[in-house]
Amino acid sequence: MAKNFNTLTQGLSGHVGDLIYYERNGKQFCRRMPQYGPDSMSAASKQSSREFAKASKAAKSIRSALNGIWQPARDETTVYRLNKAVYAALREDTLHLLGKRVFTAAALHQHLKDFRYNKKAVMTIGGIDTIRQENGSIMVKLPTHWQNWLKPPKEARYIQLQAVALDMDLEQNTCVGTTSAASCVRLGEKEHSLLLPVTPVSATATIVLLQL
């Protein structure tokens, strides 16, 4: 670290060329910018970076598949939160080495269960609220307290439920199948369910999203 006595650069802050100017305790200093070469990252850091990129691509494929069916309400935090949840699911894999980990339905269920896509939509994957039928269809069964999620207008008597199922292959970042359903429900009903006629396919997991 070198003190800056050059009258021409006094008061500068930031970098100029390969020099960084800054102030500390009322005194001016300058230093050279660090040099980052191709080998500056450790092998573990590179593998972690690749895994985060893999999770981000998988999360983007989920958003793209959903946007192709119906446009959910926007939420500026969705991208960050979904990337974080999908990355956490990828890190649950203990059978493969860092950099070679893969997604599993169980890990996705753990980290996407009750994931709130936005203020109107909640994501579920498997679990007690989604039941796979013998013919492959998915029964979306709302819990008895489901209307506690709502803040309907005082004059509202009915609410429309929309559900979509996405069969996601997260190793190829593709959606291999989709189905959707909608229902108009009278407010006050304690229980309700929607049937999604999903055809079983070879996929990483079937993600169900419910919008109120």
User: What distance in Å separates the CA atoms of residue 115 and residue 191, rounded to the nearest whole number?
Assistant: 21
**pLDDT: is 72 or 130 the higher one?**
130
What the block records as the tokens of 23 is 């102030």
Burial grade of 186 (CB within 10 A; 0-12, 13-18, 19 or more): exposed
* Per-residue pLDDT, 91: 94
* pTM, rounded to two decimals: 0.69
Give the rounded distance of the alpha carbon of 135 from its chain centre: 29
pLDDT digits (tens, 9 = 90+) for 143-159: 666 666 666 667 778 87
Tokens 């929309």 map to which residue?
A: 162
* Per-residue pLDDT, 36: 58
pLDDT band at 39 (very low <50, low <70, confident <90, very high): low
3-state secondary structure 1-43: CEECCCCCCCCCCEEECCEEEEEECCEEEEEECCCCCCCCCCH
Query: Is 22 a residue whose pLDDT tops 70?
Result: yes
CA distance to 14, 46, 50, 188, per residue, from 43 (Å): 31, 5, 11, 57
**Least reliable range by pLDDT among 77-91, 101-115, 157-171, 179-193:** 179-193
pLDDT digits (tens, 9 = 90+) for 174-194: 998 888 888 887 877 777 777
Tokens 């070198």 map to which residue?
A: 2
pLDDT band at 20 (very low <50, low <70, confident <90, very high): confident
